[in-house]
């Protein structure tokens, strides 16, 4: 399934999609995603809570054509069946989705599987069960996802990173929720400890809803890779 060893995936700027027309400004999702990749997005998750299965597979195939062209991994949110149908690189699952062990059994050891974690216990379990990366959050409250369990802030993110580092885990980590150009460096800096830092940030609206998704991605990537001014 995967063309890229999960160990070498670049999580620096992780684009998570949203299919509501308001956030897309009625633009074509596939075009927005391609522009974002041209701007520097390093990995894409197709997250679509509204389309039916046939539409999900159809859009996922179009997205995969684009991500393959640019050699960027494509993951599907929630839906193992859609990932299998499309043959993309993996999935992202939450605490209420099919469990990681079953997802791994279905997708195989090459697939990239990420898990949303909000607590230290969830993070420890995901590491033990073989997640390739953790999506930590929600960091800040966001209109994009209002049914989140907890807002953990950068302090909560740091606690999770420290706990898994203590257990010697080398799992990749990104955080998600309310991250944009004005806070991304603070998020990277404040979440990290000497033991373990974030590998990147996962972002929906600051890219998808941006007037110019390519430019927004260029700016975000520069900030993620640069040294924070207050360092």
Where on the chain is the footprint of ligand TZP (CB under 6 A)? 16, 137-138, 142, 144-145, 148, 176-179, 203-206
Given the DSSP bridges, would you call strands 172-176 and 200-203 parallel, antiparallel or unpaired? parallel
Residue 153: name its binding partner from Mg ion, ligand TZP, none (Cβ under 5 to 8 Å by kind).
none
Pick 56 or 179: Cβ nearer ligand TZP: 179
Burial of 61 (0-12, 13-18, 19+ CB in 10 A): middle
Pick 4 or 205: Cβ nearer ligand TZP: 205
- Least Å distance between CB 10 and ligand TZP? 19
99 binds Mg ion (CB under 5 A): no
Q: Is the bond leading into 138 cis (omega within 30 degrees of zero)?
A: yes
C-beta atoms surrounding 214 within 10 Å: 18
94 binds Mg ion (CB under 5 A): yes
Which residue's Cβ has the minimum distance to Mg ion? 94
Residue 173: name its binding partner from Mg ion, ligand TZP, none (Cβ under 5 to 8 Å by kind).
none
Helix (H) or strand (E) holding 152: none
Residue 137: name its binding partner from ligand TZP, Mg ion, none (Cβ under 5 to 8 Å by kind).
ligand TZP
Q: What spatial distance separates the first Cα and last Cα of the chain, rounded to whole Å? A: 40
Pick 127 or 202: Cβ nearer ligand TZP: 202
Specify whether the CB–CB gap between 32 and 213 falls below 8 A: yes
The distance from CA 13 to its chain's CA centroid, rounded to whole angstroms, is 8
81 by DSSP, 3-state: which?
Answer: helix
97 binds Mg ion (CB under 5 A): yes
18 binds Mg ion (CB under 5 A): no
Among 18, 34, 48, 78, binds Mg ion (CB under 5 A): 78
Residue 94: name its binding partner from Mg ion, ligand TZP, none (Cβ under 5 to 8 Å by kind).
Mg ion
Residue 95 structure tokens: 């605490």
Pick 111 or 184: Cβ nearer ligand TZP: 184
199 binds Mg ion (CB under 5 A): no
Specify whether the CB–CB gap between 132 and 100 falls below 8 A: no
Specify whether the CB–CB gap between 17 and 47 falls below 8 A: yes
- In the complex, which residues of this chain contact Mg ion (CB under 5 A)? 78, 94, 97
């Amino acid at each position: 399934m995967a063309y890229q060893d999960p160990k070498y995936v670049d999580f620096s700027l992780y684009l998570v999609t949203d299919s509501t027309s308001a956030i897309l400004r009625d633009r074509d999702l596939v075009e927005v995603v391609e522009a974002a990749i041209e701007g520097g997005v390093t990995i894409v998750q197709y997250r679509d809570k509204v389309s039916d299965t046939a539409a999900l597979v159809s859009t996922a195939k179009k997205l995969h054509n684009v991500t393959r062209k640019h050699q960027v991994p494509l993951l599907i949110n929630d839906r193992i069946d859609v990932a299998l149908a499309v043959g993309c690189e993996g999935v992202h699952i939450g605490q209420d989705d099919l469990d990681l062990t079953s997802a791994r059994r279905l997708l195989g050891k090459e697939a990239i599987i990420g898990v949303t974690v909000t607590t230290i216990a969830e993070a420890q379990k995901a590491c033990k069960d073989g997640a390739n990366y953790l999506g930590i959050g929600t960091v800040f409250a966001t209109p994009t996802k209002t049914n989140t369990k907890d807002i953990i802030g950068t302090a909560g993110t740091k606690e999770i990173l420290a706990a898994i580092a203590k257990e010697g885990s080398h799992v990749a980590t990104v955080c998600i929720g309310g991250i944009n150009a004005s806070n991304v460096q603070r998020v990277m800096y404040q979440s990290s400890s000497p033991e373990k830092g974030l590998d990147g940030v996962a972002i929906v609206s600051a890219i998808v809803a941006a007037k110019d998704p390519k430019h927004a991605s260029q700016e975000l990537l520069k900030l993620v890779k640069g040294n924070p001014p207050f360092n």
